[in-house]
A = this chain, B = another copy of it.
């Protein structure tokens, strides 16, 4: 009896998840390694940050997902490197040998050479970041409530989102709604309806990856909601209490970074040429140059689709399609069949969408571009359908219906902000401030 082929998949985002599932009938042992024990449905992470969903609503244990898949095993570990020549993955003190490797480590926040900004402007890639942003948002309202100084109170009620991609746009809309519709009636002194939400974008339009039609539509929707949008405004400095935009300073105690991502640091450990944002320059078949058994997919891969001349975008669709494509190659090779290597990977754009608060969205499906309530229903339907796991679909749907009907958000918890302390309280500025009710 010859040994079964060993396939190691690093990372269980959309790319890793879809490749592992596509290998379910492959005669091989599939090992899925991730540093989290859950697959995170990242498109909805902003809803955790704005207190609409609980983390468990958008995270499903990887083990539960692969319970029925007989050839799959799951390992919780941090992969520190890959020995491409020796065909082994390094995790802690272990070497995990492979016959095929699929690297899908995903992306991290990109501060473009200013890692020190992360302390003032957390990003939105991990559950821990989303709950941190949630706690900071909710504490801003609390701080405004007890702040006697008007300018300081205004700074607590100013929220700056840097970067107007889908996450930035969706977050801006959701924060504005949180301030206006959800928490306003909970405060006696601070008027949270006056909160300023400022979406800052270096480029000339919001949602730069979408068609200009959709950008214009989303911009109008954001402005209807009351979000201030600053276009062509690159952030040149980030402070604890604001940002600098073209020489001018905007005060805020709450800055969120959605300006860009780069590949996970693991890519740098491969010793192979990297493209923009630390992405691995892969071959047409997603393999690492010189190592046809090792593939890099998803946000960590840089691939120019030779059919279109375009870079495959760092979106979940791209990662899923790459995952299925490389799984197909591996399955075919293990069965001695013809593979799609020579054909190369081709990205199929299935459409894009982004939501701008409740009952507003923009959708692009091929040449069909539309917005408004219909787009919002399309967005809802798609996200509910794709959400992994029966319980999560139900939980998310009921949370959404609840917040839609009652203008409430169910996950408004301020949890441990400063990791070392059990709870760092806000020191009220003066005793007199809170006793003057809002007129």
* A→B interface (CB under 8 Å): 29, 31, 35-38, 54-57, 59, 61, 63-64, 67, 73-78, 91-97, 126-128, 131, 138-139, 142, 145-146, 183, 185-188, 390-392, 394-395, 398-399, 402, 406, 408, 410-416, 419-420, 422-423, 425-431, 434-435
Most buried by B among A29, A57, A425, A429: A425
* Cβ–Cβ contact B94 & A431, under 8 A: yes
Question: Can you list 12 A-B pairs, Cβ within 8 angstroms, ordered by A?
Answer: A35-B425, A54-B411, A64-B186, A91-B425, A91-B427, A92-B428, A93-B428, A94-B427, A94-B431, A394-B398, A394-B402, A395-B399
The answer to whether A422 and B186 have CB atoms under 8 Å apart is no
Which 4 A/B pairs are nearest by Cβ-Cβ distance? A92-B427, A419-B419, A78-B425, A63-B186
| B422 and A126 within 8 A (CB) | yes
A77→B427 contact, CB < 8 A: yes
Q: Are A431 and B97 in contact (CB under 8 A)?
A: yes
Q: Output the least CB separation between A181 and chain B (Å).
A: 13
**How far is it, in angstroms, between the C-alpha of A426 and the C-alpha of B93 when the chains are bound?**
10
Whether the pair A77, B414 counts as a contact (CB closer than 8 A) is: no
Residues on the B chain within 8 Å of A38, using CB:
412-414
The smallest beta-carbon distance between A65 and chain B, in angstroms, is: 9
Whether the Cβ atoms of A391 and B408 lie closer than 8 Å is yes
Other 9 A-B pairs with CB < 8 A, given A64-B412, A77-B427, A398-B398: A29-B435, A35-B423, A38-B413, A56-B410, A78-B427, A92-B426, A94-B427, A94-B431, A127-B415
A342-B17 Cα distance, complex, nearest whole Å? 68
Q: A188–B55 Cα gap in the complex (Å)?
A: 26
Contact B186 A413 (CB under 8 A): no
Give every chain B residue within 8 A of A435 (Cβ-Cβ): 29
Q: Pick the contact of A67: B92, B96, B185 (CB < 8 A).
A: B185
How many copies of this chain sit in the oligomeric assembly?
Answer: 2
A59-B413, A398-B398, A412-B38 given; A78·B423 CB < 8 A: yes
Give min CB distance, A345 to chain B, whole Å: 30
Contacts of A425 in B (CB 8 A): 35, 76-78, 91-92
A153–B408 CA distance with the chains assembled, in angstroms = 45
Residues of B close to A93: CB separation below 8 A: 427-430
In the bound assembly, the distance between CA atoms of A423 and B142 in angstroms comes to 29
Minimum C-beta distance from A49 to chain B (A): 14
CA distance A423 to B76 in the complex (A): 11
**Chain B minimum-CB-distance residue to A78:** B425
Instruction: Check if A431 sits within 8 Å of B96, measured CB to CB.
Output: yes
Q: Which residues of B contact A392 (CB under 8 A)?
A: 410
Most central of A128, A391, A420, A429 by chain B CB within 10 Å: A391
Contacts of A78 in B (CB 8 A): 423, 425, 427
Closest B residue by C-beta to A188: B73
Assess whether B63 is in contact with A187, with CB atoms less than 8 Å apart: yes
Q: Is the CB of B426 within 8 A of A36?
A: no
CB distance from A11 to the nearest CB of B (A): 13
List B contacts of A75 (CB < 8 A): 145-146, 428, 434
Partner of A391 from B36, B59, B406 at Cβ < 8 Å:
B406
- In the assembled complex, which residues on chain B have CB atoms less than 8 Å from the CB atom of A97? 431
Residues of B within 8 A of A427 (CB): 77-78, 91-94
